[in-house]
Amino acid sequence: MTRARIWAVQPDALLSWVCGVFLLLAFSQAWIFPIFGEEISPSAGSLIRLVFFPAYAAGIYLLFSSGLRSLEAVLRAPILLAMLATAGLSYFWSFDPSGTLKRVIALILTMACAYGLAARFSWKTLAEVIGAVFLVLIVFSFLLAILLPEIGRMTNIFPGAWRGAWPEKNNLGGNMTIGCMVLLAAAILNPARRWLWLGGAGLALTLILLSTSKTSLVALILGCGCLVFIGLVRRGPVMSTVTVWLAVAGLVLVGGILAFAAEEILGLLGKDATLTGRTEIWDGITRVVADRPLTGYGYAVVWGDESPFAPLAKITKVAGFRAYHAHSGWYEVWLEMGLIGLIVWGLTYGEAVLRALLSAFRNPGAYVALPVFIVYGLMTLTESVTLAYNDIRWVLFCTLLIRLSLPEPKPDPYARPLLPDLPARRGFRPDVWPPRLP
């Protein structure tokens, strides 16, 4: 791309790119640990919250600049709106209503950014916007681990394991797994720059290996399996049928192995039977929720109240240590919004996976959505990433679910690329994967 072509890009398109990349970098929270460390004081916490306001502004710009398409995005994803409404309604049964209200406002603004991203960009451009964010995070993590190893590498529990810009190695592994999936999808959807995105995916894989996170490696394998599945089902009815049957048989086989050899699998992943103390936390949550099975205790207020009669005190007593979150998106929702929230979240995730599976047969966006949904679903089993305000993983989940509900914009306002084209091999088709050689 010549300099003239770069400047020929419409100013609003360039501004939208900048806003999308900026808000996702802010929600990655990769800047918090290198600046403030693991222990964050109340004054630092207030400063951190202020940083997110420009990100909200960027998301609101994307939302309003998309016009009626933003309204269409809201109307076409009602189950996600129901999830947000459930969190808001928990104000009325929360044991700390003011705390719930403040965090619900943050959640609304966070999800507004997701609606803006989904409404503003086509699939090809959205993949590159997210891919550009992860390229920045990859380079930043390498620089920290190499130049500032006291920050970029763990010094206790798992000494030497890379953690990049996050406090713990599994944070690096989980984020890079999602990043690797998005970068591979960007390479498929944008063949003119596939070597840029494939190179980024290779670097993300390197960080996953250096993090020594076996769980992230398993998630990466499943995500790559999703890419292969999508590529095969798009090769005609016969191949599609065979692939679907093989996928179902594989899922049944994996389920059987997990059912009868769970301890052996955990051993291979370096986990004990308690999942590093998670089951004790879950036991405490189960006992606490028994007092409020239908409604829970209110959105995002349980873990900050350390009074002797609060739910946290009971969970701490059962678990034997002080936890800072549920270490499971499902238990987190159950604790905060009870059975009502758990049912709505189950329907939300089920709709996301179903939409992604159906789109695999006709929508190139499946290359982005399905692998990310599967990796994200695995994360929700052991990490509190559901309805997480100011969190890139929740923003990406919402963005992709909303984007799946929307048709491609016609004409695409971002048809002219903002990045320079790289030499593309003749015969490469983004709608057919693996690519066929000419």
Q: What CA–CA distances, in Å, run from 321 to 306, 315, 317, 325, 328?
A: 13, 9, 7, 12, 17
Residue ranges of alpha helices (H) inside 121-193 are 123-147, 149-152, 169-189
**Residue among 401, 334, 410, 412 nearest 372 (CA):** 401
pLDDT at 102: 95
234 contacts 360 by C-beta, under 8 angstroms: yes
Predicted confidence at residue 14, as pLDDT, reads 85
**Mind listing the pLDDT tens digit for each residue in 414-428?**
444 455 554 444 444
> What confidence score (pLDDT) does residue 263 get?
59
Q: What is the pLDDT of residue 266?
A: 54
C-alpha closest to that of 406 among 107, 129, 126:
126
Res 436: pLDDT:
40
Ranges of the chain with pLDDT below 70: 1-11, 254-277, 409-438
What's the confidence (pLDDT) of residue 74?
86
Q: What 3-state class would DSSP assign to 344?
A: helix
pLDDT value of residue 306: 85
Q: CA 420: distance to chain centroid?
A: 27
CA-to-CA separations, 311 to 286, 288, 336, in angstroms, rounded: 11, 6, 11
Between the alpha carbon of residue 224 and those of residues 40, 357, 358, 412, the distances in Å are 37, 15, 18, 28
The predicted structure's pLDDT at residue 8: 46
Rounded to 5°, the CA angle 383-384-389 comes to 140
**pLDDT value at position 1?**
43
Q: What's the start-to-end Cα distance of the chain, in Å?
A: 25
> Tell me, what's the pLDDT at 408?
73
Res 71: pLDDT: 86
pLDDT at 260: 61
Residues 212 and 210: their CA atoms lie apart, in Å, by 5
pTM: 0.89
pLDDT at 419: 53
Whether the CA torsion 191, 195, 200, 201 is positive or negative: it is positive
